[in-house]
Amino acid sequence: MRKKIIALIIVAIIILIGLVVLPRYLSHTINKEEVVIEVEQGDNLKDIANKLYEVGAIRSKTYFYYKGKSIGTNIKTGEYKITQNMEFEDIYKVLTVGNGSNTIKVTFPEGFTLYQFATKLEDNGLVDKDEFITATENYFDENISKEVDNKDMYFSLEGYLFPDTYFFSKNQNAKDIVALLVGTLNDKWTQEMEDQRIKIDKTKHEILTIASLIEREAYNDEERAKISGVIYNRIKIGMPLQIDASVIYGKGKGKEHTSVLTKNDLLEPNPYNTYLNKGLPPGPIASPGLKSIKAALYPEEHEYYYYVMGENGHVFAKTYEEHMKNVEKYRNMK
């Protein structure tokens, strides 16, 4: 009996390892040099899988097809350059953008502001910065304005552009790019997330605002839900959030960023000054990633109201007295 149990455990471990390791082994290209495939009119995902396999770019035609079924019939014709160690997700993105090898890869890090999105797009020769910002305002007016009061926001779609790696075509205009960036956020927003939002009685705008604060404040992934809990705890008792990242955003009007705040900055009236104003700022201060959004939806339940940067991340405290001891300890350490 004991031998059977041990055998079952071994089998379970082997299966678990396979589920974790195999996708990593199969989900990127293996060609040593850049190769080119031609996607012709009428080609489907199976045809493309065969072409990639024939040029030695992938290990498994079946896995490529299985993982990419969600792109459906949105494949565009053209010649595509397939580089070494290219992730399948990137190949799928390229195939749906089209324009073959003329696509431009752009990565927007988590925590990027809308102004940084606009600047990076302009730097890559895709669209004029001001034209892109205007397109975001138009998109807001057409699709979101009824749900969000943006009168105190510097950029109406701040926080609604999802940070990720994209492949753009020079044929795409500013309106197309904005729709893609916002659409990606909507695609990531699952029914489970929506149910949780309703359960905790928050609007999507409020969740994105909280998530953006977490994104800018958290030192590592483990802290996200805990910082979220601090934000919720402070809001619950009407205590100012006192989040420096929000004050910094307001000081620079969403464009300029500084890492230094003075006492005068904390006393300067501004909609984003969370030292003077209770509750959340008017809107997000950056584009949060999925981990921060989930942390905003699922805050850790605890009794912490304070935190300060320590040696390897933030140190949390329940009382002001405990917090001040942590602050003094951190200062002495520095």
What does pLDDT average to in each consecutive run of 10 residues of the chain (334 residues)? 60 50 73 85 85 88 81 72 84 74 85 97 95 97 90 96 90 92 94 97 97 96 97 97 95 85 90 96 97 98 94 93 90 66
Has residue 141 been placed in a domain? yes
Domain, as residue range, for 97: 22-102
How many domains, in total, are found in the chain? 3
Q: What is the pLDDT of residue 277?
A: 95
pTM: predicted TM-score of the whole model, two decimal places = 0.80
- Whether 50 and 107 share a structural domain: no
- Whether 222 and 130 share a structural domain: yes
- Whether 183 and 278 share a structural domain: yes
Give bridge partners of residue 314 from the DSSP assignment.
309
Give bridge partners of residue 37 from the DSSP assignment.
80
Q: Which of 214, 246, 225, 233 is nearest to 305 (CA)?
A: 233
CB atoms within 10 A of CB 60: 15
- Whether 94 and 181 share a structural domain: no
What single-letter DSSP state applies at residue 32? S
- Whether 287 and 161 share a structural domain: yes
- Whether 274 and 327 share a structural domain: no
